[in-house]
Amino acid sequence: MTTAIQPAVPSLTLNNDITLPQIGFGTWQIKDDDDAADAVRSALDIGYRLIDTAMIYGNEAGVGAAVRYHEVPRDEIFVTTKLWNDSHDYDAALKAFDASLNRLGLEYLDMYLIHWPVPSQDKFRQAWRALERLYEEKRVRAIGVCNFKPHHLESLLQTANIVPAINQIELHPHLQQHATREFCAKYGIQVESYSPLMRASRLLAADLQNIADKHGKTPAQITLRWHIQNGLLPIPKSANDGRQRENLNIFDFALDDDDMAAINVMDQERIIVGDPDSPDFG
């Protein structure tokens, strides 16, 4: 049975006045289309309304099928996908968008992101011009980037006509990305957190467990609540419907100043996924 998005889930307003819920459902590493479709259907049933995928995830068809055939109206679901590194040329980016839209089976996208800056190619400004065209043609409601550090954003803004609406970056208590968050705040760019739970690698730490015990919540819920209270937009991923519910059930409590301070000191600048300046992503 489908449930409407929880009334207590706050909304964020992007710099182009588009609104979206402050928590989403990620699909990274759900590679099979059938598995992706099942996971997204479950997420929509539970109340998620922001669904994140990417061409490189290999599951756009499954994600799109779940969105198309679910009883939640399309205009209530915020769908994001991403441009991969081999398509930063202007024409290639336009073709890649068309291919993603066809795989998804949708008439439009809510958000299209450049997945990595790939500074070794130095073509992300070309890709951005293509995204600006797609936005101007109203084929996508908002455009943004992923994994952009301040110096990548500075370079992009030198020639951009449109400021990115979102910068989706790896962000969690052990990688708090203060410099990037400060830069994005200056330009009105919403920060979206992927791997917000550190891939569960540190959720058993005693300091998180102590805060969880205090609130009668799990360490994952404490971590996601930390994102919310920092004005971030986390997109946790789980194919398990129980974990999906747990991750969404974070709007009936608040962390106090001591809780926030205890998590803030956990920062280790610990990258799990990869450095955007690394040649491995070029």
* pLDDT tens figures, 208-261: 999 999 999 999 999 999 999 999 999 999 889 999 999 999 999 999 999 999
Of 48, 57, 112, 194, catalytic: 57
Residue 31 — pLDDT band, cuts 50, 70, 90?
A: confident
- Is 57 tagged catalytic? yes
Q: Which residue, 46, 11, 29, is CA-closest to 248?
A: 46
Q: How many Cβ atoms from other residues are within 10 Å of residue 134's Cβ?
A: 19
pTM over 0.85: yes
The pLDDT of residue 115: 98
Mean pLDDT across the stretch 61-67? 98
Topology annotation, domain 20-200+227-241: TIM Barrel (3.20.20)
- Per residue in 153-188, pLDDT (tens digit) is 999 999 999 999 999 999 999 999 999 999 999 999
The pLDDT of residue 199: 74
